[in-house]
Amino acid sequence: MIRYLKTALFAAATLLSASCIRNDIPYPVVEISITGIEGEGFSLSEIDLANRTITLTLDEQTDIREVNIQKVTYDVTVHSVQLDKEALIGQIRSSEPLVGTFDMRSPIYTTLSIYQDYAWTIRAEQPIAREFKVSGQIGSTVFDTKNRVATAYVAKTADLTNVAVTALKLGPEEITTYSPSLDELTGTSFESVRFVDISYHGQSERWLLYVLHTDKVVELKAYAWSRIIWLYGEGIEGTDMGFRYRKEGDTDWIDVTPTISGGNFEASIAAEAETKYEIKAYCETEETPEGVFFETQAVVQVPNSSFEEWSTVNDIVYPYTDKADAYWGTGNPGAKIGGETLTQSCPPRPGGTGVGANLKSKFVNIVGLGKFAAGNLFVGDYVATKGTNGILTFGRPFKQRPTALKVWVKYTCGKIDRIDKIPVGSDLKKDDPDNGIVYIALGTWTPEEYGKDSQGEMRGTQNSPLCVDTRSVTTFFKPNSKDVVGYGEYVMAANVDEWTQVTIPIAYPDKSIEPTHLMIVCSASRWGDYFTGSTKSEMWVDDFELIYDPLPGQ
């Protein structure tokens, strides 16, 4: 009996001890992203990896209450270990079904899981082109879509008892009914608000239409860049409208014929840098006041734009002679850990002087691990190396608005032989042609919003505010982000065998916004941030020049 009791006590102690053993083996970190959504009546307009948000843009005629999603595609990023990506994608679990018919008046919130949980949001927007125009209207109609109010303005002398409504569209094209209709409204009184009931997809809305008198007959807005001034005016639809200008000190006015759309008119004029211009808009015999001056900005070029300045410190090649004056950066500090140089000087382009810059993509061995590295050159700083990843900052202070960037380039396009990650929505594969890229961006970035790395550490500065941390694609530069003022790019998907001068136009969605910073980026492998590209790709660049003159068609 005593022997049995001892045996039982030993077994119980063993079980108790085993129950206290902790499982300290960590799960692998597998980050899940949505790469695409397909269906009827919408397009995928944005994937925001940083906030894990998908935005769908619905067609006008799509019923937002019944949005049909037919397919969702995913990607995974595996950190620190080697696992089969395709097998992992097949294991993704979603807390909410994502295929089917959804009421998108509210977003879809879901959590994607394998080992860790990632909260994603799918939301919809549905822009509707609306019109409410009347004869003799001044300027554009003001729409308050939240309260369903449309307001058109006419001259103080206009008769509100008999208003000709020339356009009315408040809902989706072709499927919206109106009560009263356009024909019933025109020629009636707008001395007070008019109500219009519209119906589509079985739902009704009531809109309030106003036609109001205004003392304004003509208005002027002008935005002076360096060698171009953009002019915008509002006047009475169907009348003679335009602009006049003269340089400060001149006596004669120069007339400018605008492009007219309803009561709005616009034009641009070629100008001299750092010069004051007196400008006025007119509508029939009415003019904006004289003595309104707009001063153009200076013409500024980026430092070391011909790459005459190079230095080598501790076997690292830099595109400057003094760190205190550094304007350009490269990935050389990171590549040198593996004994490589990605970017260095080269003979100049034909007709050039001094030297140019040579960018070559390579496979680099860093701390015992191999990593693809793109030959690159950028306006900014190389900040740090974390493992096999680089942390950079982009941008330098700049307030001018050039119209284009000129650069001499030559390019050898290799076939992709290294793939680590690929951009969301891309189907890159080995033996596809690599791409070289040169792009320019101007923006209003701040280090507070754009300067933190993937671990939350502040890397950006007022001098170079935008941090790119290759450990996380959420930090990568986005040309369509809200603080990009102007953007242009030149992509090479094939060899450029001879030195060629290219002009890269810069598009500005809103010409009134003045930037705070400029960035220029050159890469022999466009997807180098993703460690994807070709070790055979090589780019040569020389003689960058910012253009400030109006381009054809402007």
Q: State whether residue 255 is helix, strand or coil.
A: strand
Residues 6+ apart with CB under 8 A from 188: 162, 163, 194
Domains and CATH numbers, the chain: 29-125 (2.60.40.2340), 131-214 (2.60.40.2340), 219-295 (2.60.40.10), 311-547 (2.60.120.890)
What would you measure as the largest C-alpha separation in the chain, in angstroms? 123
Beta strands in 219-292 (DSSP E): 219-224, 228-234, 241-247, 254-256, 259-261, 264-270, 276-283, 286-287
Along the 554 residues of the chain, how does pLDDT read in single tens digits? 444 444 444 444 444 444 444 545 567 888 899 989 999 999 999 888 888 999 999 999 999 999 999 999 998 887 766 778 788 999 999 999 999 999 999 999 999 999 899 999 999 999 999 999 999 999 999 999 999 999 999 999 999 999 999 999 999 999 999 999 999 999 999 999 999 999 999 999 999 999 999 998 999 999 999 999 999 999 999 999 999 999 999 999 999 999 999 999 999 999 999 999 999 999 999 999 999 999 999 999 999 999 999 999 999 999 999 999 999 999 999 999 899 999 999 999 999 999 999 999 999 986 667 889 999 999 999 999 998 889 999 999 999 999 999 999 999 999 999 998 888 878 899 999 999 999 999 999 999 999 999 899 999 999 999 999 998 888 999 999 999 999 999 999 999 999 999 999 999 999 999 999 999 999 999 999 999 999 999 999 999 999 999 988 76
Distance CA 21, CA 249 (A): 89
At 45 the three-state DSSP class reads strand
**Measuring CA to CA, which residue among 266, 247, 248 is closest to residue 257?**
266
> CA angle, corner 492, sides to 491 and 496, nearest 5?
145
The pLDDT value recorded for residue 530 is: 92
Task: Round the CA-based radius of gyration of the chain to a whole number and report it.
Answer: 31
Cα 461 to Cα 394: distance, rounded to the nearest angstrom = 10
Six-digit token pair at 72? 């969702």
Calculate the alpha carbon distances from 53 to 56, 118, 136, 418, 509 in Å: 10, 11, 44, 29, 24
Classify residue 374 by burial, with Cβ atoms within 10 Å: 0-12, 13-18, 19+.
buried
Bridge partners, residue 247, by sequence = 277
Q: What pLDDT does residue 554 have?
A: 64
From 520, 493, 489, select the one nearest 503 (Cα to Cα). Answer: 489
185 strand-pairing partners: none
Confidence at residue 367, expressed as pLDDT on a 0 to 100 scale: 64
- Residue 7's pLDDT is what? 44
Burial class of residue 97, CB neighbours in 10 A (0-12, 13-18, 19+): exposed
Sign of CA dihedral 162, 163, 165, 171: negative
The C-alpha atoms of residue 189 and residue 401 are separated, in whole angstroms, by 47
- Report helix, strand and coil shares of the chain as percent, to nearest 5: 10, 45, 45
Tell whether the torsion through CA atoms of 172, 174, 179 and 182 is positive or negative: positive
